[in-house]
Every structure is written in C-alpha cells, then in structure tokens.
Amino acid sequence: MVDYRHSPVTVDGKRAVVIGGTSGIGQAIALGFAEEGADVVATSRDETKVEETAAAIEDRGVDTARVTCDVTEHDSLDRVRETAVDELGGIDIVVASQGAISRATVEGISEEDWDFVTDVALDGVRRVTQAFAPAIEEGGSIINISSLSARLSMANLPAYSAAKGGVEAFTRASAKELAPEIRVNAIAPGFVITPQNADTYAEGTEKRQRIDERTPLSRVAEREEIVGAAIYLASDAASFVTGEVLTVDGGFADSAF
C-alpha cells in the first residue's frame, strides 16, 4: 500500500528569524508566521520598529525576542542568532528580507551606490547564511527574498538587479552545500505594495497602469500575498524543495503582452 499522507503546509511550532522583518514584506511574513503558530524574532536596525513588531507578534500569542541587526556587520548577526537561540530555544527558519535600492544608470552609478546596494542585498544574504546555518536545526530552511529584476531587465537598477541575480545563484550554491540538513530557497516577488512604496504604485499613476496592463492578474500584490509562499517553503510540505526560486508575481514575468 502506498502511504499518501503528506506533511501539512504550516509553520506551527517552528521558530523563525526574519531579517528586515519590521517593515514591508518581511514584516508581513513575520506576522503571518506568528499567526500560524511560529515563534518569531523580527529584526532590523531600528529599535522602535523592532519593539512595535515584537509587540504585534506577541499579540498573536507566540514568543519573540527584541534585538536590532545590521546585515552589513557579522557581529550584529551573531548577536541575533545568540538571542534567538537563547530566547526561542533554537532556530528552524531564517528569512532574509532586508532591502536596499539605488536608481542610477549603468554608466552613471557611483562606486558608493553600487557598494551600498550589494553590501546589503547580496553580501547581506551571504552573511545571514554564514551566521545562521550553523544554528538552524536539521530539517530547517533559509528563504532569501529575491526579485523579478534578477531575470527581467529593469532600467536604472543595475546594482539591485546584479545583487538579486547573485542572491538566486547564491541560493542554489548554498542549497547544495547545506544539504541535506538545511534547505535553501528564494522567493521572487513581483510588484508588491508596501507602506514605503504606496505612492509609487498608487492607483491612477502611470506606473501602476502599465503594471496592471502587463500583469495577467491585472494588479499589484498586497504584501500579505507573499506570506503563503514563505509558509509553504518553510513548512515540511516543501521537504523535497531546495535551491528553488518561487516567483510570486501575478504572472508578470512569463507574460509577453
């Protein structure tokens, strides 16, 4: 007899750290995990935002800890790891959702802007993996937040695009090295409304109209619409999924017209 039982899509009872977890997509993932019964440490550089998000996590009836973090510093990530292990009793899931962007042409981007973006978006992902891989429990996973710009050309985003392309390649490289104990995957969101970009993507703007027209689902995403992909990849339902990039873009990337 074949055993058709499968693992559920849930993070209930798991322990998660979300880097860049106090705003935007990372915060939605942190709160979504908490709603599903995971203990969550959501962290960024801002103490006030760490406190606000920690309180919102506690409101959902799970454990958390308060710690700031800067992904450009190894020591800072080591502190987050130690805090999470001490306060939650271990780590099963790490999400790297920190973000940095700079709009400039290929010819015009400065060394400083290039280094700023890649230091946070690409080297930050590497440092997060280096800091947390030794502490993640067997069967746990890392989720790196990439972007459509890893595979679609978008004007004036050379450093961001290169960093996200690097994040996807690094996801595959680390998935191979950290297997079989830890799975490593990425999510590539399309256009997602967050408090930070609400004006840019506001209804009625030319940009919004162009995105809506090109997207098969005819709209941009709410940040909560990225949470399900993260829960799936972090859950035991994805126990055979590693080195994968899950695109969540309403069909944008694969649509010609």
Q: Which residue is nearest to ligand NAD (CB)?
A: 24
Burial of 191 (0-12, 13-18, 19+ CB in 10 A): buried
The total of other beta-carbon atoms located within 10 Å of residue 148's CB is: 18
**Of residues 6, 11, 3, the one with CA closest to residue 139:** 11
- Say whether 160 is catalytic: yes
Q: For ligand NAD, which is the closer residue by CB, 46 or 177? A: 46
Do 18 and 33 meet the contact criterion of CB atoms below 8 Å apart? yes
DSSP helix/strand/coil, 144: strand
* Near ligand NAD in 101-140, by CB under 6 A: 120
* Interaction pattern, residues 180-209, with ligand NAD; x per rule: CB under 6 A: ---------x-xx-x-xx------------
**Of residues 143, 148, 171, 175, the one with CA closest to residue 160:** 148
Q: Is 225 in the site for ligand NAD (CB under 6 A)?
A: no
Residue 244 CB, nearest distance to ligand NAD (Å)? 16
Q: Is 161 in the site for ligand NAD (CB under 6 A)?
A: no
Do 120 and 100 meet the contact criterion of CB atoms below 8 Å apart? yes
Candidate list 16, 34, 67, 145; residue touching ligand NAD; CB under 6 A: 145
Q: For ligand NAD, which is the closer residue by CB, 43 or 235? A: 43
Q: Is 22 in the site for ligand NAD (CB under 6 A)?
A: yes
Q: Is 71 in the site for ligand NAD (CB under 6 A)?
A: yes
Q: CA-to-CA distance for 34 and 44, rounded, in angstroms?
A: 17
Alpha helices in 2-61 (DSSP H): 24-35, 47-59
Candidate list 15, 16, 17, 20; residue touching ligand NAD; CB under 6 A: 20
Q: For ligand NAD, which is the closer residue by CB, 70 or 92? A: 70
Q: CA-to-CA distance for 144 and 242, rounded, in angstroms?
A: 12
For ligand NAD, the binding residues (CB under 6 A) are 20, 22-26, 44-45, 69-72, 97-100, 120, 145, 147, 189, 191-192, 194, 196-197
Residues catalogued as catalytic: 160
